Structure formats: C-alpha cells, structure tokens
Amino acid sequence: MTLMTRRSLMAAGAAAVVFPQPGFALSAPAAQELVTRLIADVNTVISSGKSEAGMIVDFGKVLDRHADVPTIARYCLGADARAASASQMAAYTPAFANYIATKYGRRFREFIGGEITVQGARPIKSWIEVETTVLLRGRSPLRMDWHVSDRSGRHLFFNFIIEGVNMLLTERAEVGAMLDRQRGDLDKLIAEMRAV
C-alpha cells in the first residue's frame, strides 16, 4: 500500500471508527468500578518511587489487567491487520503493548503529585464512558474520559480521550506513520515497537 493510499484510508477511517460491540452485562457501575481500580493502580505506580524503567514495567502490568490490548492493537494497525498472518498478529500485539506502556508510562510521570477522580459513568452507543477529572500541580483541571466495553468477556477500557484528544485515533495515525517509515513491513514495525 502506498503512503498516499494509507493516509487516505486513515482519514476516511477517522470518521467511521469501529468500536467494540456489546458483549454481556455491560453496566455503568461496573465500568466505573474498573476505572476506579485502574486509577488506584496507576497511582500506586506513580507513587512507588521506582525508576522510569521500573514504572514502565509496572504500567505494562496495569494495561494487562485493565485494557483490551488486542482490540486496541488491531484497531491501531488498521487495514494492515487484515493482511497480517496469525503469527504476525501474535507477535505484533505484545510488541504494541510494549510500545504503549513505554510511551504512556513516560507521560504518566507528569501525574506525580496529582490526582485523578471519577465523576460518573454513562452509556454511549455500545460502550460506557467514564468521566474523570485530572488535577496536576500548577495546572487547570483536565477532563479525561475512559471508554469501557465488555466485548472481551469482562469490563476493560479500549480508549481514552483527554481534553478532546482521542488516544485510538492518535495512535492509529502514529502506527500508520511508523509502518510507512518501514515501507509497510510489519515485521520491521514489530521490531521497532519491541525496541522502544
């Protein structure tokens, strides 16, 4: 796929995001409880006093517990996920998890001394949106919304939006750009994600 074709597809796809379909027993209270546990785990990592490398490892464990990583990984790969072999997807998904844990683990260091509080939850289309407020030292409060689905068989988050910036769409564009730099070679993308 050429660069122009990939970018054209990404632009079209941004307007028609395919979100997880409902599984069973999806509820706002259960979604809110998931995000409450997630925040507690994030706060534990932030306040651990560990090195950045240690915190990133712990953030990876938080993702394993609370995020629908296979759904996020597949969505962010876009159309290339359909062309990938089963073995490539089996290698790509944990490599993507490493990339995400490293990228956002470094960002969450900004939350040291801050606080995240759950404001409430409500159904949105086929998922639950849990609204939180982020208080950081020396900054105005930020709104952060978590999207939770039970498509995997349990309540897990598959997206978050902070001050209008959508993680799924942002990472889909970023992964597409990374793959473009590797000239569409998924194996090279996997190696790059493992090495971050």
For 145-190, the pLDDT digits (tens) are 999 999 988 999 999 999 999 999 999 999 999 999 999 999 999 9
pLDDT at 69: 97
CATH number for position 153: 3.10.450.710
In a domain, 15, yes or no: no
Contact of 40 with 62, CB cutoff 8 Å? no
User: What range does the domain containing 73 cover?
Assistant: 3-7+31-194
In a domain, 22, yes or no: no
| pLDDT of 115 above 90 | no
The set of residues, in sequence order, having a beta carbon less than 8 Å from that of 118 and lying 6+ positions away, is 32, 35, 36, 39, 130, 131, 132
How much is the average pLDDT of 99-112? 86
User: Residue 119: phi, psi to the nearest 5?
Assistant: -100, -30
Contact of 140 with 117, CB cutoff 8 Å? no
Give how many domains the chain has, as a whole number.
1
